[in-house]
Copies of this chain bind each other. A is one copy, B any other.
Amino acid sequence: MVNTSLRNNGLERDLEIIEAVAAASPVPQRNGELALRTGRDKSQISRAISRLLDNGLLLREGSGVIVGPRLYAIARFTFEARLVSAARGEMHGLVHKFSETLHLTVLQGLEVITIHSESPSHGFRALSWMGVSAPSFMTSSGRVLLSGLDDDQILRLYPAKKKIDGAPTKCTTKTGEQLVGAIHLIQKNGYATVIEEYEPGLVGASVPIRDFSGSIVAALNVAAPLARFEKHLIPASLEMKKAALRITKSLTSS
């Protein structure tokens, strides 16, 4: 029952513009293009960009704008920056061991966003992982990230009896009740696996990464083709569990 009518259109609009610019990176975005993308009036875009330029969030490049330096200055001091540098080496080792792609994900709202990926030599270099935020209830990393919450917190997000919006037929957690059940299993095992839930032909496993206090701050995830990796899901999970512990350790010691 928090006051939700407290909304700042300005901030939302500015973020929308910045993300539109970021999504088009490295191509500088022109004024009109952004107006189209965000569906706002050109006058608003013009004035907003002017402000964002003044504040260093955007930067002129030719006849368009790109993301400015101030964002980097802030991003440098985020928890994610430390997390990535702590996890990168471990992920590297696991890529070598599994020969499959690894992801480092965090929860934002109800979405899972990937903040770092490591691919094996034979994989494609994923360039598009930033915008791809997946729903949390149907991915292994999402369930792992949710597993830090209490049952009633989860049920508040996903009501027990109600069918979750957008749950595909393959998904094993179509209601909040089922989700809580899956999460109990994750809490017991310390890892989560999914088989062809999010995408056909794909399997995945995830383990939680905790901070010094034990709360879950991120998830380590491996995704691979069903045929190639199904039998390795459990061993890989156990391996990742150990890696997650080492990441926690190096997070607290730095």
Contact = CB atoms under 8 A, between A and B. Distances in A.
A50 B85 CA distance: 25
B69 A108 contact: yes
A109 B119 contact: yes
Nearest to A23: B77
A92 interface: yes
Given A6-B47, A109-B56, A77 B67 contact: yes
B72 A251 contact: yes
Interface residues of A, number: 88
B96 A157 contact: yes
Interface of A: 3, 6-8, 10-12, 14-15, 18-19, 22-23, 25-26, 47, 50-52, 54-57, 59, 66-82, 84-85, 88-90, 92-93, 95-96, 99, 106-111, 113, 115-116, 118-123, 125, 127, 129-131, 133, 148-150, 153-154, 156-157, 212-215, 250-254
